[in-house]
Amino acid sequence: MNIVDLIIKKRDGGKLTKEEIEFFIKGVTDSSIPDYQVSAMLMAIYFQDLDNEETSELTMAMAHSGGTFDLSSVEGIKVDKHSTGGVADTTTLILAPLVASCGVPVIKMSGRGLGFSGGTLDKLESIPGFKIDVTEEQALEYAKTSGIVLMSQTDNLTPADKKLYALRDVTGTVDNLALISGSIMSKKIAAGADAIVLDVKCGSGAFMKDYPSAVKLAKTMAEIGKSVGRNVTAVISSMDQPLGMNIGNSLEVIEAIEVLKGNVKGDLLDVALTLGAYMLIGAKKVNSVEEGISMLTENINNGKGLAKFRELLIQQHGNPDIIEDYSLLPLSKAKLEVRADSDGYIYSMNTAEIGRSSLETGAGRASKTDSIDFGSGIIMKVRIGDTVSKGDVIAEIYSATEEKCISAGKYLKDAIEIKAEKPEQPKLILDIIS
């Protein structure tokens, strides 16, 4: 088999066989196919696309390009969750302990943030002492004793995806549904989950800006899951404003704890409960969304969700005292209040620009090698539809320097539109695909 022949075949619109896809992924994994030919294949796929069968074969070849996580020794149906990324999306820190507190094991491998999309690992590392590097043996032990593990991806998991992602990033081939779906689903399948719940973000602060694109991505991933025997549910949720009120690593940890304490309501809680309910359905713990939300809400009210979060902290060497004392978490010293320029309603938000503002504070990274200021970020004071008067504080910005606060404030102010007319309240859950 010759890689040039396969590149030409796909370039001309041909369909790749299972054997040809496996040959390509093996060559990517062991570097027997040079980067320039891999890049050529990626460009051919970008323009000619893959059909559902090819996408499924690509996904499984990537999933088996390295080791897979065998969770069979952990009792019960294992359910995983993935978000396509957004601003102030703190759901994992809320729903993982909540779902685990309902008796469903949650073994979740998470990633770091890039750009304005915050990474769960960065949020966890803002907690003093928390260890994200967990071996497979430790993860299985934790899963059997506490029912919850939040960890970094192991080195031997989906090595082909790591190489392909790096090349897609520098060859302009990121924006392809088959390649996006294969990347996401290969990691989820390799991680050993029986059922997968996807949070596909849609809106100004999401990768998929419009509803049809979000639906297409959700359906593609659901079809992949079905073809390989996994139960996949995709929740399409709005990202036309930040999901939570806190943006930034330690700030989002605080908001997650406040949700688990029962002190915070609103969109962040509602999305977490919806995703958690579908995780419980996937685990056959409940039969309906309403039953799942009720069970999760009860475990907020009775403190079981918060207790499971504390157990997670102790287990992975994080300081549990942060639950009562937020001053133990980092908070940057410089502060700037952003104020409304006029009276009216908060009419719209450019969520990507708000994310760019958080990036300016130091809360995110523009490239994978950038360091993060765990204590920087933004606390939003308004939601779409709120009334404001001129001079009202609409956000607080925290960063290491006043200069960074001022730079972030300019982006933030430009991102928020105030009008005299009242806007329609944005719908939070746009669709469910399963």
Listing DSSP states for 88-112 in one string gives S--HHHHHHHHHHTTT--EEEEE--
- In degrees to the nearest 10, what's the CA dihedral of 158, 164, 167, 171? -150
What SS3 string covers 377-399? EEEECCCCCCEECCCCEEEEEEE
Please state, in angstroms and rounded to a whole number, the distance separating the CA atoms of residues 248 and 126.
10
Q: Which two tokens stand for residue 241?
A: 């404003």
Q: Which residue among the candidates 10, 78, 108, 187 is catalytic per the annotation?
A: 187
Q: Which residue among the candidates 78, 123, 168, 308 is catalytic per the annotation?
A: 168
Element (H, E) at 406: helix 402-415
Separation of CA 197 from chain center = 11
List of the chain residues with pLDDT < 70: 113-118, 368
Over the stretch 50-86, which tens digit does the pLDDT of each residue have? 999 999 999 999 999 999 999 999 999 999 999 988 8
pTM > 0.85: yes or no: yes
Q: Residue 230's closest CA among 263, 191, 276, 189?
A: 189
Instruction: Please indicate whether residue 161 is annotated as part of the active site.
Output: yes
Q: Which residue among the candidates 117, 183, 186, 358 is catalytic per the annotation?
A: 183
Q: Which two tokens stand for residue 176?
A: 């392809």
Please state, in angstroms and rounded to a whole number, the distance separating the CA atoms of residues 283 and 197.
11
Element (H, E) at 83: strand 79-83
Please state, in angstroms and rounded to a whole number, the distance separating the CA atoms of residues 209 and 431.
15
Pairing between β-strand 231-238 and β-strand 429-433 as defined by DSSP bridges: antiparallel
Q: What is the pLDDT of residue 434?
A: 84
Q: 75: how many CB neighbours lie within 10 A of its CB? A: 12
Q: Which residue among the candidates 122, 161, 267, 373 is catalytic per the annotation?
A: 161
Q: Which three-class secondary structure state does DSSP give residue 415?
A: helix
CA distances from 254 to 36, 264, 328, 384, 402 (A): 45, 11, 11, 22, 23
Instruction: Please indicate whether residue 187 is annotated as part of the active site.
Output: yes
Q: Which residue among the candidates 10, 64, 82, 308 is catalytic per the annotation?
A: 82
Q: Where are the beta strands (DSSP E) in 191-296?
A: 195-202, 231-238, 246-247
Over the stretch 116-142, which tens digit does the pLDDT of each residue have? 666 899 999 999 999 999 999 999 999
Give the burial class of 318: count Cβ atoms within 10 A of its Cβ; 0-12 exposed, 13-18 middle, 19 or more buried. Answer: buried
Q: What is the pLDDT of residue 85?
A: 86
Q: What is the pLDDT of residue 371?
A: 84
Burial track 143-178 (b if 16+ CB lie within 10 A, e otherwise): beebbbbbbbbbeebbbbbbbbeebbeebebbebbb
Q: What is the pLDDT of residue 174?
A: 85
Instruction: Please indicate whether residue 308 is annotated as part of the active site.
Output: no
Over the stretch 326-370, which tens digit does the pLDDT of each residue have? 999 999 999 999 999 999 999 999 999 999 999 999 998 777 677
